[in-house]
Amino acid sequence: MPSVHVNLADRAYPVHVEAGLLAQAGGAIRNAGLSGLRPAILSDETVAQLHGGALIASLEAAGFQPTLHTVTAGEASKSMSQAEALCREMIRAGHDRKSMVIALGGGVVGDLAGFVASIFYRGIPFVQVPTTIVAQVDSSVGGKTGVNVAEGKNLIGVFHQPRLVLVDPETLRTLPDREFREGFAEAIKHAVIRDAAMLDDLAALDASGREVPADLIARNISIKARVVEADEYETRDIRALLNFGHTIGHGIEASVPYGQMLHGEAISLGIRAALFLSERHAGLSPAESAKVIRLLDLYRLPLVLSASISTESVMEKLARDKKFSAGAIRFVVLEALGSAKVIHTVTADDLRAAIEHLRQST
């Protein structure tokens, strides 16, 4: 099976990618040295119904005694109140510091479950079992956990690396069309910052199908892993490269009720805005921008910002974003496809112009 090693010294862990891996999860978790821990599976109601039974059966066959805890599907579940509710539910179920959390689901579940694991009994191990494109190619790796508040996305959280990540591409077959397509915004992001050749591979996939090669997923994970290894806590403007498209994208996502716009849909808009600013500030060619926009369109991701979302609302939300440092704007731009950098010359007026640019048709 394709595997990627995330080399973080004593926090290192493997990421395994293989079709059918969900049914082997119990053995993989036991072999990772976690056999003495009691699993608390955290999932959402939709994913638990689809995949919870298979995971529980695999864990029980490997000698574990898991419990299952679910939340309502959607971004609104990424909250402090939900994290507290899960912690209390786990305590009532008999979990303690000799337990572990298994995150079964997409990015919302992974972020929330990782955060719960980081605070439960002052921190217990957790395992990621991602079931969406976003989670498989991006959010399940790197240790960022957190919850949202009204003022912005992911503003409360900690770095808490998983002990193991198990990626089964077959879980993608159960995704609704919209949730399947939105995840490719993150894969496109990886391609434009580090692997321009991947753009052609993504273009060659059947955007309406459910076949995503394991090696393509592993290729994305490898990009994420190498960046995380170089800058785990995002202090050197290296890990920040993974935020391409996210500054304005998060501002857009936070400007509507959570769940109304999917993460990848907001990031698609953010990528288009970042391409606009890359042409202005880093010399990216319009032809290169157009290639990326065509690929976003191939996956039917949004490229035009709704008139119902005001520019000032987006500006207000992104001003609270973690990518701002002491009020200064750190913005990721492309010099060319596959070559990204962080600059500090983007102004508030530039951001407004980029948001307004999103109101024009492509």
What confidence tens digit (pLDDT) does each residue in 232-287 have?
A: 998 888 999 999 999 999 999 999 987 789 999 999 999 999 999 999 999 999 99
Percent of the chain with pLDDT over 70: 98
Please tell me the predicted confidence (pLDDT) of residue 13: 98
**Helices within 17-126 (DSSP H only):** 25-29, 45-47, 53-61, 80-92, 107-119
Say which CATH topology domain 179-211+231-357 has.
Dehydroquinate synthase-like, alpha domain (1.20.1090)
Mean pLDDT, range 296-317, rounded to an integer: 96
Which residue has 């010294």 as its token pair?
9
Question: What is the pLDDT, as a whole number, of residue 108?
Answer: 96
Beginning with the edge strand found earlier in the chain, give each strand of the sheet holding 13-17 in spatial order: 3-6, 13-17, 164-167, 126-130, 99-105, 38-44, 67-71
C-alpha distances out from residue 184 to 37, 38, 180, Å? 35, 34, 8
Kindly list the catalytic residues: 122, 144, 186, 224, 234, 239, 243, 246, 250, 263
> In the chain, what is the greatest distance between 2 CA atoms, to the nearest angstrom?
59
* Rounded Cα gap, residues 65 and 59, in angstroms: 7
In this predicted structure, the answer to whether residue 324 has a pLDDT above a threshold of 80 is: no
Three-class SS of 267-284: HHHHHHHHHHHHHHHHCC
Give the pLDDT confidence score for residue 1 in this predicted structure: 72
Domain ranges of the chain: 3-175, 179-211+231-357
What tokens appear for 13 in the block? 């862990």
Tens digits of residue pLDDT in 2-24: 899 999 999 999 999 999 999 99
Whether residue 321 contacts residue 251, with contact meaning beta carbons closer than 8 Å, is answered with yes
The model's confidence at residue 319, banded by pLDDT at 50, 70 and 90, is: confident
Note whether 37 and 99 are within 8 A (CB). yes
The yes-or-no verdict on residue 326 having pLDDT over 90 is no
Q: Which two tokens stand for residue 184?
A: 């490719």
pLDDT reading at 49 higher than 90: yes
Q: Comparing 115 with 210, which gets the higher pLDDT?
A: 115
The answer to whether domain 3-175 and domain 179-211+231-357 are alike in fold is: no
Residues 6+ apart with CB under 8 A from 87: 116, 119, 120
Q: What gap in Å lies between CA 309 and CA 220, rounded to an integer?
A: 31
Q: Which CATH number fits domain 3-175: 3.40.50.1970, 3.30.70.920, 3.40.50.970, 3.30.43.10?
A: 3.40.50.1970
* C-alpha triplet 168, 170, 175: angle, nearest 5°: 110
First to last CA, the chain: 40
